[in-house]
Structure 1
Amino acid sequence: MARRTILLSLILGLLAAANAVPFDFYYLILMWPGAYCEDSDNGCCVPKYGYPSEDFFVRSFITFDLSINKAVVRCKNGSPFDYNKLDKIENNLNHYWSNIKCPATDGVNTWKSAWNSYGVCSGLKQLDYFNAALQLRKQADVLSALSDQGIKPDYKLYSTEKIKWAVSQKLGVTPGVQCRDGPFGKKQLNEIYLCVDTDAKTFIECPKLPPGLQCPAEVVFHPYFSWMLNTTSAFDANILLPTETI
């Protein structure tokens, strides 16, 4: 009887280990499209599905393991990407997890890459993985958090520390900030890094930020408007602009 109990405990332990979450937290990376449009050699294009939102986009939702100090990628226990499983949130993906690179794309390869790289390691179902990132983006509402503190996309220079502080006032955690080359020989706000618990619901203080996150003391917050996007042969230009639906 004791042997059977020990064997059962071992089996349950192995099952638990097999199903354990293989990472410590997520990076939710939010991209400011105005920075991409200004700095891209090829400009920016309206995706084939229509205009995205005039807001921060989800760029990545990354699983990260502190023990190896790397993102956890391409786990083998996840299911293959199935575009049809995203029907319920496709509209929101188009608006808030968008790809404005040129030439115009339909977004599917972007989402497929995200799922095959990180989603399969999350322990979540495909729909839940993407919906979690969208909901976190909405909860963060970085554009409003910055605006509430007088930080607006208007070509002005803003303190990098004030940008971090503005986001922390809303979320209670301090973000990472990434910059890229901007106008007037200055650096511009490009991406916001937020850390999320393994529950995919809760913002946490970042246990670690990528060493490559570098910004000067002051950065440009470049404007972004839908008219900045090139519409050449991308789609019918009469498509309506998006509205928040999640």
Structure 2
Amino acid sequence: MKTKATYFLFFALLVSNITYCTAQNSSGFHHFWLVQVWPFGYCLEVNCARNVTWFVLHGLWPVNAYEQTLPGTNKPDPGILASLEHDESLWDDLKKYWLSLSTRDGDRLKYFWPYQWRVHGSAQRRVKPPDYFRRAVELTKFTDLLNTLNRAGIMENGNIYRKVEFRKAIKAKTGYDPILSCVFSDGRYQLKEVTICVDADATNFIPCNPNKISRESCRNNIKFPAPSPTK
């Protein structure tokens, strides 16, 4: 009897430990989201200060295995800005591909990237700045979303296209289905954001969790909003 009780106690502890480890792993860093916004959909919800006629980075966000974003440490790192400014090529790329749409102020803009690290990038320890920023830009330049969609016949002209067409075009470039995000405006679901899943080293594309894709905010028909007049 004592032996049986000891066995059950051991088994319960083993199951408890496995459950705990699984929970820990699922809540910790697993991979990244490469999130890019189409300004003319994004700015339907947000008051934008500038017009940019290409997809821009919203961020490279650490997520767990269930595609849940992880909070950064929120601790400032005064060395980040200096390291970015020191790399002239990277600095120029950031000002084109990863800029804030909410300000034109150059002094405010340069603190935008340390902020991105503080609230997002610092949630993981695997890729440190400036590589974190460099790899995000390289992946964005490779995906070249606007030209990728244009080559598939999906034009930024305010027309309606099927969601499967957007998905097929982006998958042809990255190898995997993206997560599409839309804003509902003027009676239409309009493209706002494209999220592509990237491995923990921020170097290769990987499949996103199918459950996250199935819950995306876009419907079967998506409007690709046209650029608005320059502000």
TM-score, with length taken from structure 2: 0.76
| Superposition deviation, residue 149 in structure 1 | 1.0
Aligned CA-pair RMSD: 2.6
Residue aligning to 1:204: 206
Partner SS for 1:28: strand
Identical residues among aligned pairs (%): 25
Residue 78 of structure 1, CA deviation: 9.3
Letter of the aligned partner of 1:201 in structure 2?
T
Aligned-pair distance for 1:142?
1.2
1:217: Cα distance to partner? 1.0
Is the CA contact (8 Å cut-off) linking 1:189 and 1:220 kept in structure 2?
Answer: yes
Q: 1:65 to 1:151 in 2, by over 3 A?
A: same
Task: Render the CA deviation track for 1:122-147: whole Å, top value 9, x for unaligned.
Answer: 42221100111000101111111111
Superposed CA deviations along residues 100-138 of structure 1, whole A, max 9, x for unmatched, are: 125756323432221012222242221100111000101
> What aligned pairs does 1:192-231 form with structure 2 within 5 A after superposition?
192-207=194-209, 209=212, 213-224=216-227, 227-228=229-230, 230=231
Q: Decide which structure has the larger Cα Rg and report it.
A: 2
In structure 2, the gaps of 5 or more residues are 1-27
Matched residue, 2:56: 57
Conserved in 2, the CA contact under 8 Å of 1:81 and 1:112? no
Cα 1:223–1:99 shift into 2, 3 Å: same
Q: Partner of 1:117 in structure 2?
A: 119
Is the contact made by 2:103 and 2:109 (CA closer than 8 Å) also made in structure 1? no
| Equivalent residue number for residue 99 of structure 2 | 98
2:159 aligned partner: 156
Answer yes or no: is 1:74 the counterpart of 2:72: yes
- Mapped to 2, the partners of 1:156 and 1:211 lie a distance apart of 24
State the alpha-carbon separation in 2 of the partners of residues 200 and 117 from structure 1.
Answer: 17
Q: 1:195 to 1:171 in 2, by over 3 A?
A: same
TM-score by length of structure 1 reads: 0.71
Counterpart CA distance in 2 for 1:41 and 1:177 is 18
Matched residue type, 1:132:
R
Deviation at 1:26, TM superposition (A): 0.4
Post-superposition offset of 1:28: 0.6
Shift in alpha-carbon separation, 1:102–1:126, aligned structure 2, 3 A: closer
Write the distance in 2 (CA, Å) between the matches of 1:152 and 1:211.
Answer: 25
Contact 1:81 1:126 in 2 (8 A): no
Moved over 6 A (4+): none
**Structure 1 gap segments, 5+ residues each:** 1-21, 231-246
SS at 2:130 equivalent: helix
> Is the Cα contact below 8 Å between 2:76 and 2:114 reproduced in 1?
no
